[in-house]
Amino acid sequence: MGSEGKILEMSSEKALDGVEGDGKTHIEDNAWVPTEFVHEPPILTVTQRKGSFCQIDAGFSVPLPPDDVYNIITDPNNRRVFKNIKEVAYRKVLQDDGNKQLVEVEQIGRWQFLFLSGTFSCRVLVEQDRRAHSMVFDLVRQGMMKKFSGSWKIDEFSPSKASNDCESQVTSESKGSEKQASVGSWITFNQVVEPAIIPPWPLNGYVRGVTAKIVREILGDLQRECIRLADSIKSDGVTASTSYDVNPSCPCS
């Protein structure tokens, strides 16, 4: 038998030591269900609507319930989370009925774009509603900014509701455990910014880029902190509410 015949003979041999199911993958009708929900990074939409220099809208999910997320955002010392906050220069609680608060805050923030960097100061009036898990902020006095307003809204979010097609393949027992482990929040953020002096083209695009970068960093810091706390709760059983002061404040870009 020639060499060609030996190669054909070897290829016809079948050896599957320790291999299950005759070595073939059998595709079943049941859909694959992920064990953990992946929280996508915040995606920003930057627009220039009539009467505004720059409007930023964003929405993203985090693995903590609304109360815990609200505590992070309103913690007076949340500069440890939001790295672009250099200093809190002023903070005064004007009204507080136990649910709704009115707070005046001035923060000094950092900005960096390419090889340039600097700081900016902004004083805002923040209206907060704990039951609604919402807050609205607006500029108190003009300085570098002519307009500086926005809002936060935190809603309960369950990944199992967001993937009904996959959930329909899960047994009622696994549904219960998934629901208990997957309650999180959906955060909606909006901001309108306009400098006191609008720079000419092409510098106006540069300023919008700096603004968007600051907001992206703020939202990214918040999401990473929520993920960190959620992991700590799973591993250590520590509650997120014990890590943050519930007194009002607000990270404003």
pLDDT tens digits, one per residue of 58-97:
999 999 999 999 999 999 988 899 988 888 989 999 999 9
Contact status, residue 222 vs residue 250, Cβ threshold 8 Å:
no
pLDDT tens digits, one per residue of 4-52:
555 445 455 656 555 565 555 444 444 444 446 678 899 999 998 777 7
Tokens at 225, concatenated: 């902190």
Alpha-carbon distance 253 to 105, whole Å? 12
As a whole number, the mean pLDDT across the chain is 78
Domain residue ranges of the chain, discontinuous segments joined by +: 39-243
Tell me the β-bridge partners of 60. 187
CA-derived radius of gyration, the chain? 26
CATH number of 39-243: 3.30.530.20
CA dihedral 143, 144, 149, 151 (to 10 degrees): -120
Q: What is the DSSP letter of 21?
A: G
User: Three-state SS for 74?
Assistant: helix
Percent of the chain with pLDDT over 70: 67
pLDDT tens digits, one per residue of 149-196:
999 999 998 766 555 544 444 444 444 444 444 579 999 999 999 888
**Which position has the higher pLDDT, 211 or 12?**
211
Which H or E element spans position 176? Answer: helix 172-182
